[in-house]
Amino acid sequence: MTVTVANRQKRRIRRRWLERLAEAIMAAEGCHPEAELSIVIGDDEWIQELNRKYRKKDRPTDVLAFPQDTGPAGAGPLLGDVAVSAETAARQAEEVGHSLEDELALLVTHGILHLTGWTDETAAKRRRMMQRAQALLEKVRQGW
């Protein structure tokens, strides 16, 4: 698996750590062994533009996922792109009382789950998806 992280905002992030985390999440989700994923960490202005352009929602959001392969979710070598707002992540981390790194890990995991076929358009699906994300993060952290 190949994961590339680009930091396009001012906060310092541990790119290699985030790449390793994403690779472990992808493996746990059964992604293709040669799957490729790009992660871009940006600011609220940047993600708001993406949200407006692709989802017709003119506001910042925490994470967006853009699938690249047209086959079954997670089956092909081009998994997709995950866009995360570090500004929104920092606010959310403060609200729930954990670190920015923990919030970035959760948001990247959430994005990967979208790329592997998970949806969160209802409250019940959102709960299941959040439970899956938490379980994956716990599994990955135990293996490190």
> How much is the pLDDT for 144?
66
Model confidence at 73, in pLDDT bands (50, 70, 90)? low
For 19-38, how does the pLDDT look when each residue is reduced to its tens digit (9 = 90+)?
A: 999 999 999 999 999 999 99
> How much is the pLDDT for 70?
57
Backbone phi, psi, residue 25, to 5° = -65, -45
The whole-angstrom separation of Cα 79 and Cα 70 is 9
Regarding beta strands 78-85 and 63-67, do their DSSP bridges make them parallel or antiparallel, or are they unpaired? antiparallel
> How much is the pLDDT for 76?
63
**If you average pLDDT over residues 108-133, what whole number do you get?**
96
> How much is the pLDDT for 71?
60
For residue 15, pLDDT over 70 is answered with: yes
Residue 38's H or E segment, with its range, is strand 36-42
Backbone phi, psi, residue 119, to 5° = -130, 160
3-class SS of residue 95? helix
% of the chain at pLDDT higher than 70: 94
**If you average pLDDT over residues 86-113, what whole number do you get?**
97
In terms of pLDDT, which residue wins out, 44 or 68? 44
| Encoded amino acid at 89, one letter | A
Q: How many CB atoms lie within 10 A of CB 128?
A: 15
The whole-angstrom separation of Cα 82 and Cα 115 is 9
Q: Which residues pair with 2 in a beta bridge?
A: 36
Please give the CATH topology (third level) of the domain spanning 2-143: Collagenase (Catalytic Domain) (3.40.390)
* Pair 12, 101: CB distance under 8 Å: no
